Structure 1
Amino acid sequence: MITLTRLNGHPFAVNPDLIERAESTPDTVVTLVDGTKLLVAEDLASLTRIVQEHRAGVVALAIEMADSEPNAAVASVTGIDSRPRLHVTPEVD
């Protein structure tokens, strides 16, 4: 999710994957894939930068996760988790 600002100053979050296009008319209008139009305070260049930084962060996090937990990355793709499991047996009185 990215955080944008309504013209009245109130912030809101939107999934950038749902953005179809953005126009400057002169206010910035964001059109979502379902046709919803959002008027935002950010200019077009700022909106573009925010989306690019969000996507770069997603890729960086995926790389970091793959490097730190290779078995977890494989498990998410294959559905097979080969990480060791801690089995706790409840105490019986």
Structure 2
Amino acid sequence: MSIEPATGIISILAAPTLAVAQLAELPSTVDPQLIVGAFVLANSGLPLSVIFGQVPVTWVETSNLNEKEALKATLIGLILRFATTWALAVFLTPFLVN
């Protein structure tokens, strides 16, 4: 997926800001594509508490969607976020590294 595993997990499970802080500590031997992917993912603000908690509750209250539809829309957004992260990491990295 072109995301550095440790910072990707921290972005999803804990806090994206913590993951960005840890990117600076990565050794220079790590593939730049993984670092770009982790940076994009962390800056997209992706903790699962938002995906499964805040977004569906907010959408149900402010729209005519029920909880199942709101969760489905949230999961589609999650898939699109990972696809965008992968695409940016793969296609943007050569421009940033050279």
- Shorter-chain TM-score range: 0.3 to 0.5
- Which of 1 and 2 has higher RCO (CA within 8 Å, sep 6+)? 2
Of Structure 1 and Structure 2, the greater strand share is in 1
Q: Could you tell me the TM-score, scaled by structure 1's length?
A: 0.39
